[in-house]
Structure 1
Amino acid sequence: WADSRWGAGSVGSRRRTPVNQHGHSLVPLTHLESLVVGLARPHMRLLVVRQPGTPSWRAVDTLPAALRGHTLAFPNDVPSELQRVVLYAPEDLPSFIQVVLIDAVKDRADLEAKVRQAPCLEMRGLAIAAWAEWAVHVNPMAQVDHAALQQYRALGAKPTVPEPLVAHAVATDDPDTAAVMRAAFEGDCAGNAQDDVEAATEGANAAGEGPTFSICNAMVRTCA
C-alpha cells in the first residue's frame, strides 16, 4: 500500500507532500516507523547502536553524543505472517525491537541519555498515525488500533525516541566487554555472524562481574 499514496484518497502533485484520506501528510517513513505501521510482523529486530568513528584510545567520557545504528534481521519462522490490526502500541515496541549500545556506559542514566540522542531510533508520531490511517483505507481487510493511533498522535511531529525503547535498551559498563561487542559487530558487518556472536557472548561472560547486555544466538545479516 505504500506505493498507492498517489492514488485515490490523496491530493497533491510531485511538488507537494501527498496526504491521506483525512488530509494528513504522508511523509516518507524511516525504517523503524515503517516497522510500526506495516502489516508484516517482524519477530525481532536487534538494533546495534554505537558511537561513530570512535578511536579505541579515547576515554568514554570524551565520546561524541551522536550515535548511529544498524539492524540485525533475524529469520522469521513464518515470513508471510500478517496482522489484521495495524499499529504496535508504543509500550509493545520492545516486544520486537531490542536496542543494544555497544559502547561502555557509566551507569543506567548515561545509557538512557545516549539512546535518547540516537537519530536512528527516532520516530514521528504524526507520520506514523497518518500512514496507519492510509493503510486501513487502502486495505479493507485491515483494522487500526485506535488507542495506539491516539498515542502516536500525542507524540507529535517532532522526531523522538519512544520511551519504551529507552527503558529496555541494554549496554555494559565494562570497557573490555564493550570492546568484545564492537569486535563482534565489525565482523558481522561482513556477512553471516554466528561465530562472532558466539565469541562475543562467551567473551562477555568471561569478562567479569555479570555483563549487563544480551545478544541472541542466531544467524544474522546486517541490513543498512
Structure 2
Amino acid sequence: MQKDRTHITHRAKSGSQQRSQKTLDNLCEAACRILENGELAELTTQKVAEISGYGVGTLYQYFSNKEALLETLAVRELDRMLSVAGKILATWNASPTDAVSNSRRLIAAMIEIIGERPRLGGILRTVMINAAEDSELGQGLLRYYGLIVGIACRTHPERSHRLHAPSAQFVLFRAISSTIQTAAVERPSLLRSREFEDEMVRLTLGFLNYDMPADAGQAVIDS
C-alpha cells in the first residue's frame, strides 16, 4: 500500500517558503543598513550582496534591479507606518477638550513613526512621495495621510475644519514630520526630551488656533 506523502510535500514547501522569506528579509535588511548609514547613491546590488552574505545571483532571483529593491523597501516601510498609525487610532481615548495632552499624543505618535531609523525612513518616504498616485505606494501613502489627519482631527475636533484643506494638511504634516526627522538625525538626544515636546505642541496649537484675519492683505506671490 502506497503511503500518503502529501503532508511531507506540504512540509517541504513550507520549509522552502520560510527559507525564501528569510533570504528576502536578509537582503532587505542589508539594503536598509546601507541607506541608514549613507546615501541613496551608495545603494548598489553588489554592495547589498556583500553585506547580506549572498551572491549577486541570489539577489537577482528576488529583485530585477536596484529600483525594484528600493520599491520593496518603501512598501515595507509604508506597511509599518500604516500599522503604527492604525494602532494609535484604534486605542485613542483622550478627551477632546484637552488640547495640550492631545497634542502631546499626536507628537508622540509621529515620533514613534519617524524616530526609528530616520535616515532610512526619509529616503523611503521620498520614494513614496515620488510614486505615481495610482500606484501601490501612492495609494498607500494617501491612506497614511488619511490616518494621520484622522488622529489630528480627534486631537483637535474644534479645529478639524482647517485640517480638511489640502494646503493646511500639507503644511502641518510637513512641519511636524520634517522637524521630528531632522531632530532624530541631527539631535537625537533632543528628540524625546520634554523641551522638544513642548515646542512641538506650541507649533501644532499655534498653527491650528490662528485664524487669518479677513483683511490679511494682498498675497505677495501672484497666483
TM range (shorter): under 0.3
Bigger RCO (CA 8 Å, 6+ sep): 1
The structure with the largest strand share of the pair is 1
**TM-score of the two chains, using structure 2 as the length reference:** 0.28
